């Protein structure tokens, strides 16, 4: 930590800062400049936080130097992690050696629609099935998902297609139920800072897909992952899904730089959701290409057998020729990046 004194701070003000730092066992190095002094702090950063140094007289600013997250940081865990998703005997990897393609409908609407979407996903090369049984919707009048019935549909579609299931949980009270049916628990963008949910998910014993909050900084996102990790679960995959900006041409702005930035800071895998980032199906293929090329560990995409009748996000769901284009991209481009298709490394033991 670095404490920056204001130009009119007195020697007494400086001495008071030093004294408080030393009172909790830290050391303080004072550098007196022409205009102002700066004080470098060495010691246990948590104890410094409690000092509220910014409230002391003569203090202009306090800069944190180290990263505030630990368990998810790459600093003490330089090798990037692989997370395995699926039941024993069929575990799909998400990590640095593979490219994992996840697809499925935004919402589970019926057994037929779900199995049709799952078959579309599988034939396009997907190795994991996404689908929402609980939907967080901006309007209380919009379709909120089938709930437990949706989970049962997903479980039966897994049985018939062999695809492990990724599904969202929106309420801490549902975590146990969702974890019984799903192979991976998704925490959505609106819940990234729902700390009670994060902690519950951290205890559930299933891998977690943590979407970035609509306006979360990368640091806040990694702190949300830290909440999950702190409860003992390090099987976390991050998902960039666009941030909110002033640009109206796309629903969100895909922050493509976030992928290499996160990979430098954290050992966790990171994938991209081009469907929700853009909100337009014509951008899904080019953004998937960009995601693969930038080094993402996978993508998660909306597909639907009949977008015209979809109860959720129809305009971004792929089918037909668009899906065929996507299938070709995810089959060929990862090789250029020296990545295997996730299906090649499924753990079957």
Helix (H, G, I), strand (E, B), or coil: what is residue 299?
strand
Nearer to a second copy, 51 or 85 (CB): 51
Based on the shown chain and the rule CB under 8 A, indicate whether residue 299 belongs to the binding site for a second copy.
no
Single residue of 43, 96, 147, 162 touching a second copy by CB under 8 A: 43
Based on the shown chain and the rule CB under 8 A, indicate whether residue 255 belongs to the binding site for a second copy.
yes
Nearer to a second copy, 122 or 214 (CB): 214
CB neighbour list of residue 198: distance below 8 Å, 6 or more residues apart: 187, 224, 227, 228
Residue 245 CB, shortest distance to a second copy, in Å, is 5
Q: Which pair of tokens denotes residue 91?
A: 């575990």
Single residue of 79, 89, 159, 246 touching a second copy by CB under 8 A: 246
Nearer to a second copy, 203 or 244 (CB): 244
Stretch that binds a second copy, among 52-60, 84-92, 118-126, 203-211 (CB under 8 A): 52-60
Of residues 221 through 240, those in contact with a second copy by CB under 8 A are 223, 226-227, 230
Strand-pair partners of 38: 4, 31
Is residue 220 within 8 A of residue 213, CB to CB? The reply is: yes
In the DSSP assignment, the letter for residue 348 is -
CA dihedral sign of residues 73, 77, 81, 85: negative
Based on the shown chain and the rule CB under 8 A, indicate whether residue 147 belongs to the binding site for a second copy.
no
Is residue 17 within 8 A of residue 9, CB to CB? The reply is: no
Based on the shown chain and the rule CB under 8 A, indicate whether residue 36 belongs to the binding site for a second copy.
yes
- Helix boundaries (H) for 136-251: 148-161, 175-181, 195-202, 218-230
Nearer to a second copy, 138 or 321 (CB): 138
Is residue 136 within 8 A of residue 142, CB to CB? The reply is: no
Stretch that binds a second copy, among 79-87, 115-123, 177-185, 257-265 (CB under 8 A): 257-265
Based on the shown chain and the rule CB under 8 A, indicate whether residue 328 belongs to the binding site for a second copy.
no
Of residues 80 through 99, those in contact with a second copy by CB under 8 A are none
Is residue 272 within 8 A of residue 297, CB to CB? The reply is: no
Name the phi and psi angles at 91, rounded to 5.
-110, 125
Nearer to a second copy, 56 or 155 (CB): 56
Single residue of 173, 203, 324, 347 touching a second copy by CB under 8 A: 173
Whole-angstrom distance, CA of residue 327 vs CA of residue 324:
5
Based on the shown chain and the rule CB under 8 A, indicate whether residue 137 belongs to the binding site for a second copy.
yes
Whole-angstrom distance, CA of residue 205 vs CA of residue 34:
56
* Total number of residues that touch a second copy (CB under 8 A): 98
Based on the shown chain and the rule CB under 8 A, indicate whether residue 72 belongs to the binding site for a second copy.
no
| Short-list 281, 287, 278, 299, CA closest to 342 | 299
**For 104, how many CA atoms within 13 A lie in the half-sphere containing its CB?**
27
Based on the shown chain and the rule CB under 8 A, indicate whether residue 177 belongs to the binding site for a second copy.
no
Single residue of 25, 89, 140, 320 touching a second copy by CB under 8 A: 140
Q: Is 164 exposed, middle or buried (0-12, 13-18, 19+ CB in 10 A)?
A: buried
Stretch that binds a second copy, among 84-92, 94-102, 117-125, 246-254 (CB under 8 A): 246-254
Residue 280 CB, shortest distance to a second copy, in Å, is 9
Residue 243 CB, shortest distance to a second copy, in Å, is 6
Based on the shown chain and the rule CB under 8 A, indicate whether residue 257 belongs to the binding site for a second copy.
yes
Residue 268 CB, shortest distance to a second copy, in Å, is 16
Based on the shown chain and the rule CB under 8 A, indicate whether residue 248 belongs to the binding site for a second copy.
yes
Based on the shown chain and the rule CB under 8 A, indicate whether residue 289 belongs to the binding site for a second copy.
yes
Whole-angstrom distance, CA of residue 133 vs CA of residue 153:
9
């Amino acid at each position: 930590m670095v404490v920056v004194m204001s130009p009119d701070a007195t020697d007494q003000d400086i001495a008071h800062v030093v004294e408080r730092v030393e009172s909790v066992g830290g050391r303080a190095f004072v550098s007196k400049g022409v205009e102002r002094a700066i004080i470098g702090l060495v010691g246990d950063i948590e104890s410094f936080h409690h000092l509220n140094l910014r409230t002391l007289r003569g203090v202009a600013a306090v800069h944190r130097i180290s990263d505030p997250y630990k368990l998810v940081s790459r600093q003490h865990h330089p090798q990037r992690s692989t997370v395995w998703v699926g039941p024993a005997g069929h575990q799909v990897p998400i990590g640095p050696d593979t490219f994992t393609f996840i697809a499925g409908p935004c919402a589970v609407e019926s057994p037929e629609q779900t199995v049709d979407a799952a078959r579309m996903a599988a034939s396009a090369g997907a190795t994991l099935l996404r689908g929402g049984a609980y939907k967080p919707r901006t309007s209380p009048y919009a379709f909120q998902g089938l709930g437990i019935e949706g989970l049962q549909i997903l479980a039966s579609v897994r049985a018939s297609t062999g695809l492990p299931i990724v599904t969202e949980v929106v309420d801490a009270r549902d975590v146990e139920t969702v974890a019984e049916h799903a192979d991976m628990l998704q925490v959505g963008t609106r819940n990234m800072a729902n700390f009670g949910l994060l902690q519950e998910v951290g205890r559930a014993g299933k891998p977690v897909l943590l979407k970035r909050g609509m306006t979360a900084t990368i640091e806040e996102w990694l702190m949300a992952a830290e909440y999950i990790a702190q409860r003992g679960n390090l099987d976390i995959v991050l998902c960039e899904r666009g941030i909110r900006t002033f640009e109206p041409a796309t629903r969100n702005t895909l922050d493509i730089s976030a992928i290499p930035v996160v990979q430098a800071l954290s050992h966790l895998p990171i994938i991209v959701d081009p469907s929700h980032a853009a909100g337009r199906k014509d951008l899904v293929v080019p953004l998937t290409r960009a995601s693969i090329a930038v080094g993402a560990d996978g993508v998660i995409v909306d597909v639907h057998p009949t977008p015209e009748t979809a109860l959720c996000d129809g305009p971004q769901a792929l089918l037909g020729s668009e899906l065929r284009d996507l299938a070709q991209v995810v089959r060929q481009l990862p090789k250029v990046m020296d990545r295997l298709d996730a299906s090649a490394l499924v753990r079957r033991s």
